[in-house]
């Protein structure tokens, strides 16, 4: 939802999937990239890349001027604000925030993952490409 709404704002959007050493992912990086490519296969201005290290270093490497982040709650804002301010201090890269639409604001990857683990019906919470 955030990306589709942001398409008119940018010439190109790179969905950057960072390898977070402190996070255990439920799905492999390759699987997540595959799903993202399927979801945005109809959008020629969207591409997907993975990276390790600092996000701002990846942004410099691909000449990105902005980081786009979605916000669901005020807690998201407080967390993201700190990172955005540090990134801006270290580089000239600005972070732009879009609020998640109300019909998606309650969805989080953690909740969806729990539903999947316990064989619940998660299909209305994810894009069609993610449905197994």
Residue 113 has pLDDT above 90, yes or no: no
How many whole angstroms from its chain centre is CA 20? 13
For 39, other C-beta atoms within 10 Å of its C-beta total 19
User: Which residues in the chain belong to E strands, given as ranges?
Assistant: 13-19, 46-52, 66-71, 94-99
85-92, Cβ contacts within 8 angstroms, sequence gap of 24 or more: 87/55, 87/56, 90/56, 91/56, 91/59, 91/60, 92/65
Q: For the segment 55-70, what is each residue's pLDDT rounded down to a tens digit?
A: 999 999 999 999 999 9
Residue 26 has pLDDT above 70, yes or no: yes
Provide the whole-model pTM: 0.79
The number of residues making up the chain comes to: 132
């Amino acid at each position: 939802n955030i990306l589709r709404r942001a398409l008119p704002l940018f010439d190109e959007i790179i969905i950057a999937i960072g390898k977070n050493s402190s996070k255990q992912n439920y799905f492999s990086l390759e699987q997540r990239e595959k799903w993202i490519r399927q979801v945005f296969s109809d959008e020629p201005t969207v591409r997907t890349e993975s990276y390790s290290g600092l996000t701002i270093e990846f942004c410099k490497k691909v000449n990105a001027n902005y980081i786009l982040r979605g916000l669901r709650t005020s807690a998201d804002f407080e967390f993201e604000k700190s990172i955005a301010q540090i990134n801006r201090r270290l580089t000239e890269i600005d972070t732009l925030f879009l609020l998640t639409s109300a019909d998606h604001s309650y969805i989080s990857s953690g909740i969806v993952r729990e539903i999947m683990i316990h064989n619940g019906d998660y299909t209305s919470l994810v894009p069609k490409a993610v449905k197994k």
